[in-house]
Structure 1
């Protein structure tokens, strides 16, 4: 009787184990600054089943706009379907079509800490990878020149009024 209980428990744990959620929380990544943009890469690998992945990124620039994507390409033994994705609580585009699955976003206003959450299902041992870039709104040198010129004109007019 004990042997039957052990075998039954083993079978049930195997059947349930395939459908269990596999959650992954990556350590916070400091985004690197290159050519005026902050960027970082991310990836995850999953066994068969549901998953929720959380990636956190930090950058020290001014508020800006985020662009990025994540993708998986199906092969004979594995695949991923994305269900949903959010960046700081804002819904992102998700596409599952043919042999590829994608999460994509562009021009999302962001600042400080960024939290990307991706939910989906893996079939076989599957992985995906992606990148996120943040461009800060930094004024061009000509903008500063126009600002200084405008302030000079206003100072000139104010001085002229004072003298009149």
Structure 2
């Protein structure tokens, strides 16, 4: 009975919230972990950045080793960012590559899979948010000044 219960356990990983490095419009963070027990897992990462609306791009991957006596690999079954599913591939290289995932505020990355042997994966998450350039503000102020000048001339 104890052996059957042990097979149902999982090796989940959920580190504390990690602040992304960078700014004001480009943020990045590496992530990853190892699994060594041959069980399924649910890894949940939470990242913080400026919180402005933006897009996420990045990857995570595991490189399989089929050499006896101890083959190692991870089979991924699901991944998402804030509930948006990510494409998954499994084989000699397993993982995900993703682009243009909309994000805002805290980012939660969930990765589900199972390991064979002592296996690990690593990846990078990059966020690009739209921050107006100084020239945009200059054009806005110039346009407002021009509108003010036209309104003043019409009043006279």
User: Structure 2: which 5+ residue stretches go unaligned?
Assistant: none
Would you say how many aligned residue pairs link Structure 1 and Structure 2? Answer: 151
Q: Are residue 104 (structure 1) and residue 93 (structure 2) matched?
A: no
* Alpha-carbon shift at residue 19 of structure 1 (Å): 5.5
CA contact (8 A) 2:51 2:106 kept: no
Supply the distance in 2 between the matched residues of 1:37 and 1:92 (Cα, whole angstroms): 21
Other-structure match for 2:61: 71
| Between structures 1 and 2, the one with greater helix share | 1
* Alpha-carbon shift at residue 131 of structure 1 (Å): 0.9
The equivalent position to 1:50 in structure 2, one of 18, 40, 43, is 40
Q: TM-score with structure 1 length normalisation? A: 0.83
Moved over 6 A (4+): none
Q: TM-score with structure 2 length normalisation? A: 0.87
CA contact (8 A) 2:24 2:131 kept: no
Supply the distance in 2 between the matched residues of 1:48 and 1:19 (Cα, whole angstroms): 11
Q: CA RMSD in A?
A: 1.9
For the structure 1 residues 16 and 74, does the alpha-carbon distance in structure 2 shift closer, same or farther, using more than 3 Å as the test? farther
Bigger Rg, structure 1 or 2: 1
* Alpha-carbon shift at residue 35 of structure 1 (Å): 7.9
| Between structures 1 and 2, the one with greater strand share | 1
* Alpha-carbon shift at residue 102 of structure 1 (Å): 1.5
Other-structure match for 2:29: 40
